[in-house]
Amino acid sequence: MNKKIAIFLIGILSTTFISGCSFIDNFGKSQKIARFVTDEKIARASIIQPTAEIEILDLSKENLSIILTKSAIATAKDSAYVMPQTNGKVSSMRVSNGSSVNKGTILMTLGDSLSTDISQIQYETALKTLDLSRTSQFITGDSSVRTIEISALGVKTAYESYQNAINSRYNAENIYDEQYSGAKITRNSTKNTKNTLEDTLSKLEKTISSLETQKATILETLDQLTQNDPPYSDLSAAMKEINSLLAEAKTQKSTLESNIKSIKDGLKQADNGLDILEVSFEAQKTQLEFAIFAAEKQYEIAIKQFEISTNAAELQNIGLQTQILQLDSAAKMAELSNNQKNITSPIKGIITELSATKNNFVSLGQPVAKVEDPETLLIKTAVNSKEIEFLTLNQSVDITYGSKKISGKITSINPSINDYTKKINIEITANNTGNIPLGSLVKIEIPITTNQIFIPLNSLYNNNEGQFVKIINDDKVEFVKVEIGEIIGTYIEITSGLKGSEQLVSSPNSTLEENEIVTIKK
């Protein structure tokens, strides 16, 4: 190869010398001519130089997806320092660094101190007092129930007496009505009989009068006749019959008059009986009304007594319940105070810090342990004012630690810029499905979609004239001067120079020259 180059150079020099051409003063130009001559020679020698194969970024897509990358420390979303609520000496330890705990798990116990002993005594006393009060409530409640039952029985008895008095009046009225109605019917019947007999007597008296008139007529006729006269015997027989009828009629009249007199006496007795029945019923009615009134008042008194007993029992029960509530509250307070000797975890998680040891004395409010829940991560980072334009709450985020990768979301965006960093703080929350250790430095990748023109930072290069990018136009490299804006992660905004339809050389090769023909990787 060296021999070929030497022969080639000798040929060039010889040719230049023979033609009488002078050397080119500008060294750069001579190099360009030499390269051109060389290319021509190679072309003539039918030696084919392969074109460069490059990767491009097609800006003609409607939206360009870029990745905003940040680094931050992964912390626990839920963490808590454990502090005792009383003074005391650690009598037992139940956990160590790295132990998994649940909410309420006892981490250590305090004892062998005056404050813990007093809490225990107060708690036991409160429980005994509460138990005695509940027993008293049971006994008093049982007594109250019996009193109420007796009062209720009194109400029932008084009500029955009241109903019996009403029923007695009702029955008396019915009996009076029946008796008065029967006596009235008997009196009316007697009166009707009297009237009938009086009518019969009147008719009988008329019959007697008629018979006497006939008798007088016959007597007068007989006085005018002699016994030998033919009618005399007939008239004598008629007279005899009339006398018989008169005697019978007078006897009936006497009987009727006697009967009428008896009936009148009976009718008078019937009227007197009705009067006596009315007077007797009115007296009985007055007594019954008074009995109803007395029974009603007794019933009302029984109801009042029942209400008084019930209210008294209720008030007594309320008083006892209030006392029990107060004692129960005191017992719970004593229990809380006593339970303060058991130092528990306020959350679920793992022990990441443990400063107390057995037999150490700890004070109220002194941090003795830290618990963190590794299941949910909280990652805090900051972005600039341009980057924040592309972020929203609940936006998805990828979190990477080594080979472990999990997904999260933006859960907090500070509404103001930090005065010192001039950036905006954001918080990301993620379920730690990849078991990323707490305190690890993780990589955060936030996919951003925008219709603005952003290109990779390594696609931009500088020279004395400004910033340039290389694009492909008809399979040739073209240099385009651009104006730049904000940087987002590993991307930079192009504010002018590109239209957004170009094919950009994504990883520019320093050997690529303008107008150089290239091949695009598929």
The answer to whether 514 and 469 are in contact (CB under 8 A) is no
Confidence of residue 173 (pLDDT cuts 50, 70, 90): confident
Distance CA 342, CA 326 (A): 25
Per-residue pLDDT tens for 480-491?
A: 999 998 888 788
Tokens standing for residue 416? 């103001």
Mean pLDDT score across all residues of the chain: 82
Distance CA 228, CA 224 (A): 12
> According to the model, what pLDDT value does residue 63 have?
58
Q: Which of 297, 283, 333, 318 is nearest to 123 (CA)?
A: 333
Average pLDDT over residues 367-386: 93
Residue 25 has pLDDT above 60, yes or no: no
Which amino acid belongs to residue 359? Answer: N
Residue 24 has pLDDT above 80, yes or no: no
- List, in order, residues 6 or more apart from 427 with CB less than 8 Å away: 378, 379, 380, 410, 411, 412, 413
Query: In the beta sheet, which residues pair with residue 478?
Result: 471
pTM beyond cutoff 0.75: no
> According to the model, what pLDDT value does residue 393 have?
95
> According to the model, what pLDDT value does residue 118 have?
67
> According to the model, what pLDDT value does residue 1 have?
39
The answer to whether 353 and 137 are in contact (CB under 8 A) is no
- C-beta atoms surrounding 379 within 10 Å: 24
Burial of 43 (0-12, 13-18, 19+ CB in 10 A): exposed
Confidence of residue 11 (pLDDT cuts 50, 70, 90): very low
In this structure, of 18-27, 105-114, 186-195, the range with the lowest mean pLDDT score is 18-27
> According to the model, what pLDDT value does residue 112 have?
66
Residue 413 has pLDDT above 90, yes or no: yes
Per-residue pLDDT tens for 28-74?
A: 333 333 343 344 434 433 444 567 788 888 887 655 668 888 999 99
Residue 6 has pLDDT above 80, yes or no: no
Residues in the chain: 522
Burial 390-405 (b: 16+ CB within 10 A, else e): bbeeebebbbebeeee
> According to the model, what pLDDT value does residue 365 have?
87
Distance CA 338, CA 85 (A): 10
Higher-confidence position of 301 and 15: 301
Burial of 470 (0-12, 13-18, 19+ CB in 10 A): buried
Helix, coil or strand: residue 113: coil
**Which of the listed ranges 104-113, 225-234, 313-322, 417-426 does the model predict with the highest average pLDDT?**
417-426
Confidence of residue 268 (pLDDT cuts 50, 70, 90): confident
Query: In the beta sheet, which residues pair with residue 482?
Result: 467
Q: Which of 460, 450, 444 is nearest to 492 (CA)?
A: 460
User: CA angle, corner 56, sides to 52 and 59, nearest 5?
Assistant: 150
* CA distance between the termini of the chain: 34
Residue 204 has pLDDT above 50, yes or no: yes
> According to the model, what pLDDT value does residue 483 have?
94
Distance CA 151, CA 303 (A): 8
Confidence of residue 131 (pLDDT cuts 50, 70, 90): confident
Distance CA 40, CA 50 (A): 15
Distance CA 373, CA 305 (A): 65
**For 437, which DSSP code?**
P
How far does Cα 27 stand from its chain's mean position? 90
Share of the chain above pLDDT 90, in %: 25
Tokens standing for residue 290? 């008074």
> According to the model, what pLDDT value does residue 162 have?
85
Residue 19 has pLDDT above 80, yes or no: no
CA dihedral sign, ordered 14, 18, 19, 22: positive
Tokens standing for residue 264? 């009148």
Confidence of residue 331 (pLDDT cuts 50, 70, 90): confident
Average pLDDT over residues 9-31: 36
Share of the chain above pLDDT 70, in %: 86
Tokens standing for residue 127? 């429980």
Output the CA–CA distances (angstroms, integers) from residue 504 to 60, 194, 199, 458, 481, in the order listed: 10, 147, 151, 11, 13
- C-beta atoms surrounding 192 within 10 Å: 11
Per-residue pLDDT tens for 414-443?
A: 999 999 999 999 999 999 999 999 999 999
> According to the model, what pLDDT value does residue 237 have?
84
Per-residue pLDDT tens for 239-264?
A: 888 888 888 888 988 898 888 888 88
> According to the model, what pLDDT value does residue 58 have?
83
Per-residue pLDDT tens for 207-234?
A: 988 988 988 888 888 788 777 777 788 8
Distance CA 256, CA 251 (A): 9
Residue 287 has pLDDT above 60, yes or no: yes
> According to the model, what pLDDT value does residue 115 have?
60
How far does Cα 82 stand from its chain's mean position? 34
The answer to whether 505 and 512 are in contact (CB under 8 A) is yes
